[in-house]
Amino acid sequence: MKGIPEIKAEQSVELLKELHILTRDGKLNQDSRRKLKQVYHLYQFIEPLLAEVIAQGDDLALVDHGAGKSYLGFILYDLFLKGQDGGHVCAIETRAELVEKSRELAQRLGFARMSVLNLSIEASIRSPQLPDHIDIVTALHACDTATDDAIRFALAKQARFIVLAPCCQAEVAAVLRRYKSESLAQTPLSEIWRHPIHTREFGSQITNVLRCLLLESHGYQLTVTELVGWGHSLKNELIIARFTGSPRGNAREVDPDTSRVESRRPAGRFDY
């Protein structure tokens, strides 16, 4: 955008205003400049995966689960897919009002190869509106077990890549709290989660470790790093999984039930 060096020439000004990265009069203030930097930081992690799929001659299929306002889908489409001849981005969200707003914006921007579906996790796995095979599945700050739902979807579709930024991992922490008094009497290790803040953080850590083991047991190679500053949140862990077909041995011992996911990798296309 002319006059704002941080904005790439091909970016949609209307989209940046809708995402509150640009002000209504098309300017960039200090807060939005920080937000734009975060957007580009996130994009740097995902763009190489998109490029790899496209370079192999495949018609890219990306699904963003628990999409909310479809922020990520719009950014990926605008920065990458808009300049490609093929490929499709699908945002999946259960809140109907957010789905309608995102659909309207995608239509207004002319993002013809972006879809927004109002589906539950179970429905999305079985829906004929989605292909049998998905190249990339993302779930960024999907709260609590919504990240696990996205993983289940990705495994069912045998996604080539999975990109996760887990958030609000409360389930394990709730279990730790439930049995706190009993465990404190049995092992000094319980001191790790005796205080509420430690219970929360320890529960989050354990949850993400189990998620990594699950993915590795299903043949994914992982990169675990920081997603610094995204969403102004302390939940900055980013898990990037690449399907190799070679399960890690000791991860498979921790999660022995790998029979639930079939080994086939069927082809398919979006059908809208």
Report residue 132's pLDDT band, with 50, 70 and 90 as the boundaries.
very high
Look at residue 192 and tell me if it is in a domain: yes
Give φ, ψ of 91 to 5 degrees: -100, 130
Residue 81 lies in a domain: yes
For residue range 212-263, list pLDDT tens digits in order.
999 999 999 999 998 765 444 456 789 999 999 988 877 766 554 443 333 3
Residue 140 pLDDT level (bands cut at 50, 70, 90): confident
pLDDT of the residue at 93: 94
Per-residue model confidence as pLDDT tens digits over 37-78:
777 888 899 999 999 999 998 899 999 999 988 989 999 999
Residue % of the chain over a pLDDT of 70: 83
The pTM of this model reads 0.82
Strand order from edge to edge, sheet including 220-226? 114-117, 88-92, 61-65, 136-143, 161-167, 237-243, 220-226
Whether the per-residue pLDDT at 176 is higher than 80: the answer is no
CATH code, domain with 238: 3.40.50.150
Does residue 3 fall inside a structural domain? no
- Measure the CA dihedral 239/245/250/252, to 10°: 90
Q: What size, in residues, is the chain? A: 272
C-alpha–C-alpha distance, residues 35 and 6, integer Å: 11
259: in domain: no
In a domain, 21, yes or no: no
**Residue 49 to residues 42, 43, 80, 109, 135: CA-CA distances in angstroms?**
12, 10, 11, 24, 9
Most trustworthy range by pLDDT among 56-70, 96-110, 199-213: 96-110
3-state helix, strand and coil shares in percent for the chain, rounded to the nearest 5:
45, 15, 40
Asked whether residue 207 is assigned to any structural domain, the reply reads: yes
* Number of domains observed in the structure of the chain: 1
For residue 136, give both structure tokens.
């990339």
Q: What angle do CA 262, 118, 63 make, to 5 degrees?
A: 50
Q: Residue 207 — pLDDT band, cuts 50, 70, 90?
A: confident
201: phi then psi, degrees, rounded to nearest 5: -70, -40
pLDDT value, residue 169: 64
Burial of 195 (0-12, 13-18, 19+ CB in 10 A): exposed
Residue 166 located in a structural domain: yes
For residue 57, being part of any structural domain is answered with yes
Tell me which residue range forms the domain holding 105.
38-254
